Amino acid sequence: MHRRTALSVSTALLLAAPLLSACSGEARPGTAAVVGGERITTAALQAQVNDVRAAQNRSGQSAAELIASTPNLERQKLDSMLQSRVIDKMAATAGITVSEKEIQDEHKAYVDDNKGAEQFEALLLQKGAMAPGQVDRFLRDRVLLTKLTAKYGNGKLEEPARAAAKALHIEVNPRYGAWDVQQIKLGAGETPWITQRTRPEQAPAGA
């Protein structure tokens, strides 16, 4: 298999708590996450979700199957956005940059390996829930990850990734899950935040 056909659901590919609350105990309205002091708005997240759903609906007979395969699309897209921010931070710390030509070259290589742009975009939609307009960000991540791997070594990105994520002070609106510090990704979370606040802790069964 060519290296550019091995796509996973996460944009980061190589990267394998609810803190977003105000003093009143309510999640900040209109904010999906805060990364490095900058907001990812719910509107920006929803725009990415809408782009993917539109692309899935254009896919013809496989539309229903694609939509059914991504029931947690909001969380998936937010995770991709967070992973991209972590990659950017890793690259900045390492002094690594990417040029437009490198992104174009990566795109050409993927297109060639997948026998055309249409097949490449279809693969991204199927395996990574990415709309055509989200391809450039995916390619940028891939180029940066290749350079980061060259700097740190194969299988040695976990430590710099954790350091980058820690420096970004990632906070996630609990409606989308919880940031997993150990796994460096967005997890499902336990229960709705308001439920955690009001429901008394139950003893384990058989206790």
pLDDT in tens, 142-190: 999 999 999 999 999 999 999 999 999 999 999 999 999 888 999 875 4
pLDDT at 50 over 90: yes
Q: Per-residue pLDDT for 27 more than 90? A: no
Residues sharing a CB contact under 8 Å with residue 197, sequence separation 6 or more, in sequence order: 25
Determine the average pLDDT of the residues in 64-91.
Answer: 96
Residue 28: the pLDDT is 65
Q: Are 66 and 126 in contact (CB under 8 A)?
A: yes
Query: Could you report the per-residue pLDDT of 12-21, keeping only the tens digit for each?
Result: 444 433 334 3
The whole-angstrom separation of Cα 168 and Cα 155 is 22
| Complete edge-to-edge strand list for the sheet that includes strand 31-35 | 38-41, 31-35, 171-172
Count helices and strands (H / E) in the chain: 8, 5
Q: Tell me, yes or no, if the pTM score tops 0.85.
A: no
CB atoms within 10 A of CB 129: 25
Average pLDDT, integer, range 94-115:
97
**Distance of CA 96 to CAs 85, 180, 184, Å?**
14, 26, 21
pLDDT at residue 193 above 80? no
Query: Which letter does DSSP use for residue 6 in this model?
Result: -
| Separation CA 126–CA 122 (nearest Å) | 6
Report the C-alpha gap between 135 and 3 in whole angstroms: 17
Return the bridge partners of 10, or none.
Answer: none
Q: Which two tokens stand for residue 86?
A: 């972590």
